[in-house]
Chains A and B, each alone.
Chain A
Amino acid sequence: MTMNSERSIVGKNFRKVDGVKLVTGRPAFTDDIHLPGMLIGKILPSPRAHARIKNIDASKAKALPGVHAVLTYRDVPRVPHTTAGQAWPEPSPKDTYLLDWKVRFVGDRVAAVAAESRAIAEEALRLIEVEYEDLPPVLEIEQAMAPGAPVIHDEPDSTGIHDAAHNVAGFILKEIGSVERGFREADHIFEREFRTQRQQHCSIEPHITISWLDPDNRLVIRSSTQVPFHARRQVAQILQIPLQRVHVVKPRIGGGFGGKQEMLLEDICGALALATRRPVKIEYTREEEFFMARSRHPQILRMKMGVKRDGTIVASQLTVLATTGAYGSHATTVQGNTGSKVLPLYRVPNMKFECHIVYTTAPVAGAFRGYGCPQGFLAQESLVDEIAHELKMDPIEFRRKNMIRLGDLDELSAELGEGRRGLPRRIRSCGLPECLERGAAAIDWERRRKAGPASNGHLRRGVGVACSMQGSGIAGIDWASALIKLNEDGSFHLLAGASDLGTGADTVLAQIVAETLGVSLDKITVTSGDTDFTPFDVGAYASSTTIISGGAVKKTAEKVRDQIVKLASKMLEVPPEELICRDNQVVAKSECGKAVTMADLAMHATYREKFQIIDSASHFNTDSPPPFCAQFADVEVDTETGEIRVLHLVTAVDCGVPINPRQAEGQVEGAVAQSLGYGFTEEMVLDGQGRMINPSFLDYKILSSKDMPKLTTILVETEEPLGPYGAKSIGEVAINTAAPAVLNAVFHATGVRFRKLPVRPEDVLRALGAKGDACA
């Protein structure tokens, strides 16, 4: 089906180009440097969920020996902005301030200090005297929307808020066809409500930034960020200094998952560096990371579907209430995705998506791998399973009958663009049928479903399925650029704006360059994510890097190849169209055997022609080709303990052509682990005052090696015309389905449905008890 056999680098399992430094522990991360005179910065987090700062007195803190700066809202520029690291103009409301006279959640910034040690900085925080005027906390979605609810954003200068007086950060209402007509035509109508919780990214490296003034008085920001270029723009804007004076450096990142698509520390760390004229480091503790960073938006989803007797879906309606917490970072765009990437998985003529995103005085939600889809697919894939069951259809057959297919045009995507009208999505590659087929075979679907649920004493066993899709970059918005130069030894330096956050992007981009230039992978050196030394890239988010940054890299490599071939043509006296690059040389296709090595050509260019072979290119797409996923779960439910034991998870994914299949599998497996945590163990629990009561890995359970089930990953290869070498994306799609796939299997095993995450053993026991199942 594909031309992989002709490729020597793409589609092969090369080791990570940056792997050796990671397995040997060489200093590669933000914190792995020592700067003389570096101060430690700390942020005073608000102990109140909602309060006005009546008075703040930092004099005692400032007087403490070893303290070099204390900043409050009186000391810094007041610039409304969003922390969301999105392309300008950001679609998120500008409702956030470097420091403010109001606090809106427990953990909100009150003040910041820079001191000679962490102990002194912490002592200084204790010496800051703050007098609060308490305002009522607003923690639940329904409470925030109730008439007369306390207004969270009552400041006059914020912009882009849909309805600040009623705590509505954003509102979305889009319809394709007429759901009213669709429901009239339907033989059966199903409607269910689902609830999802706050999940935290839990990157093992917390947010960290080190900032200093370089000898030219420019502000260097060394930061664990997915968006160096957005962070540069945001910091310049917030600190009111020229963008030219800001240099953002992205070293290795210890995991991001969207949490580092937020400008969280760069601004305040920069402000402290400017105030002290000393290097300053701010690093969140694990506890701070939990409630001062970002989380997944909790949602209440009401989904309604109308179907014909034969299983044809004729109307699909999703109504979502979501909370963005205290600030509207990614508010409308995450929730827009809950509609635009979820509903069109099924080709329904009448679709409606309505969403209210409200402020609460709770920890702030933001971008998180999946970006609104895990919530949406929980609802849709659970409901579809229920409908299939009621119609006595096999869940796979029901999906096959309705699912999107090759050549389809998805109009809902156009309606639900990135905070404005977007572009329609044409399906140019679709491996979903094959994902279903191969996944079903791997879980032994037909036999297991025919045999029905298995029962062994107090154990019940069943299998379930769920499907999803995602995007590959944001159509018409995400773009990237790259620059490649030839060194005189025949090696190449790739300078890419892209931000490898541990995903293997540097390796994938290097593979694309090596493939295009016909050289071995070890000839490529990668420098990425540095605003001084690499050209622009929006950053690592929206599953964009392989397709968008990879597209830029491929275009660049093609331009460089043209230069190389032109010179080789002159050197070899062979017409350019007769030459190809392969095996680290330029060779004539004909039998004349003429060839020049890349190294000889490079020396010739450098010292004879006196010419640098170098080029750059930019790339964006007007469409966002979806990767597809079908996930199958084999589970056992213990009716005595309520434990759900996942025995086997099969994930079949169509990511186009995987540039590095092993890395692609790794993306799937990691996403599945986070998805299982989302379904069954992870939840940020707040008390009545908005304080998170479980901000540690002891009390907030992410899965360990012992908790993971057997995983099978199947890469279903398709050729995507819009992607470099046929690639789509792989970073997010597999995070959407573990919860619904497992819960559908739990239903198969026990006949009980769960619609609120996370589902814990006590929930299962309670539900089984209510159903009257033998819990002897």
Chain B
Amino acid sequence: MNTIEIGVKINGDSKRWTIAPGDLLLDVLRREGYYGVKRGCESGECGACTVLLDGKAINSCVMFAAQADGCELLTIEGLAQGDTLDPIQEAFLERGAVQCGYCTPGMILSAKAFLAHQPNPTEDEVRDALAGNLCRCTGYLKPVEAVLAAAEACRRSARER
């Protein structure tokens, strides 16, 4: 079979992967052990496979791995600094925003990309930002509250710095 080699920077590490040209990014990431990237629909509808590509939240199930060549990727595994959780992860735990946890990595990463550009969001803006991440457990109230709380926590720590 035809293979190609791509290079990515993922969660801060440089990697070279041998892939088939038609491989989807979701499949390659899971094959490489990034199990936090979830498979929910394989058609870009549920957002469980969300990763950040050059800072932008994308559905890795509808993107060829080859398209990620030379890009910087962030998966949920790369969000915490060692044992120190990202403020969004903290807020999801504290606010009870996690139930089954299957949509959680995608939702947190969507929030991460969103808050990077909008550190002071309204509730409606948060709801817009999470609209691509379907959740069947929570009814979204606690995830939305968690993102708002995380934004607040980030602003507070920025002021204190």
User: Which residue on A lies nearest to B22, using beta carbons?
Assistant: A119
Task: Point out the residue from B43, B128, B136 that lies within 8 Å of A674, measured CB to CB.
Answer: B136
* B116 interfacial contact with A, CB 8 Å: no
Of A16-24, A187-195, A209-217, A297-305, which stretch is located at the interface?
Answer: A16-24
List of B residues within 8 angstroms of A13 by Cβ: 96
Q: Mark B99-142, 1 if CB is under 8 A from A, else 0.
A: 11111110010000000000000000011101111111111111
Q: Given A24-B77, A698-B45, A704-B134, answer yes or no on A31-B39 (Cβ-Cβ < 8 Å).
A: yes
Minimum CB–CB distance for A674 against chain B, Å: 7
Q: How many A-B residue pairs have CB under 8 A?
A: 178
B153 lies within 8 A of chain A by Cβ? no
- Chain B: minimal CB distance from A442 (Å): 15
Q: Is the interface of B mostly helix, strand, loop or mixed?
A: loop
Answer whether residue B46 sits at the interface, using C-beta atoms and an 8 A cutoff: yes
The answer to the question of A389 belonging to the interface, with a C-beta cut-off of 8 Å to chain B, is: no
Contact at A25–B75, with CB atoms within 8 Å? yes
Assess the A23–B77 pair: CB atoms within 8 A.
no
**Residues of B contacting A754 in the complex (Cβ-Cβ under 8 angstroms):** none
Question: What A residues does B35 contact at CB under 8 A?
Answer: 25-27, 29, 31-32
Decide: A669 near B100, CB < 8 A? Known: A697-B41, A705-B143: no
A504 in contact (CB, < 8 A):
yes
A662 to B146, CA, bound (A): 13
A24 B36 Cβ-Cβ under 8 A? yes
A263 → B minimal CB distance (Å): 20
Complex contact B45–A16 (CB within 8 A): no
CB of A670 within 8 A of CB of B138, answer yes
A686 within 8 A of B: no
Please tell me the size bucket of the interface on B: 35 or more
Separation in Å of the A705 CB from the closest CB of chain B? 4
Name the CB-closest residue of B to A25. B36
Pairwise interchain contact B38-A204, C-beta atoms closer than 8 A: yes
B45 contacts A705, C-beta separation under 8 Å: no
Partner of A702, one of B30, B99, B131, B134: B134
**Cβ contacts under 8 Å, B94 to chain A:** 15
With A16-B93, A502-B100 known as contacts, the answer to whether A255 contacts B108 (CB < 8 A) is no
B52 located at the interface, meaning its Cβ lies under 8 Å from any Cβ of chain A in the complex: no
- B76 near A25 with CB under 8 A, answer yes
CB distance from B142 to the nearest CB of A (A): 6
**CB of A666 within 8 Å of the partner chain:** yes
Residues of A within 8 A of B127 (CB): 705-706, 708
**B58 at interface by CB-CB < 8 Å:** no
Do B98 and A19 touch across chains, with their CB atoms under 8 A apart?
A: yes
Which residues in A have their C-beta under 8 angstroms from that of B141? 669, 708, 711
Does A672 have its Cβ within 8 Å of any Cβ on chain B?
Answer: yes
User: A283 — which chain B residues lie within 8 A by C-beta?
Assistant: 39
B37 to chain A: closest residue by CB: A25
Q: A16-B93, A203-B136, A255-B100 are in contact. Are A706 and B142 (CB under 8 A)?
A: no
Contact (Cβ within 8 A) A24 B85: yes
Q: How far is the CA of A227 from the CA of B42 in the complex (A)?
A: 27
Q: Is the CB of B101 within 8 A of A502?
A: yes
Task: Add 17 more A-B contacts to A25-B105, A34-B33 (CB < 8 A).
Answer: A23-B76, A23-B92, A204-B38, A204-B48, A254-B38, A502-B99, A669-B138, A670-B99, A671-B139, A673-B136, A673-B139, A674-B136, A697-B134, A702-B136, A705-B131, A705-B135, A711-B139
A-B pairs, top 9 by smallest CB distance, nearest first, are A25-B36, A502-B100, A22-B101, A254-B102, A25-B76, A669-B139, A697-B45, A673-B139, A662-B96
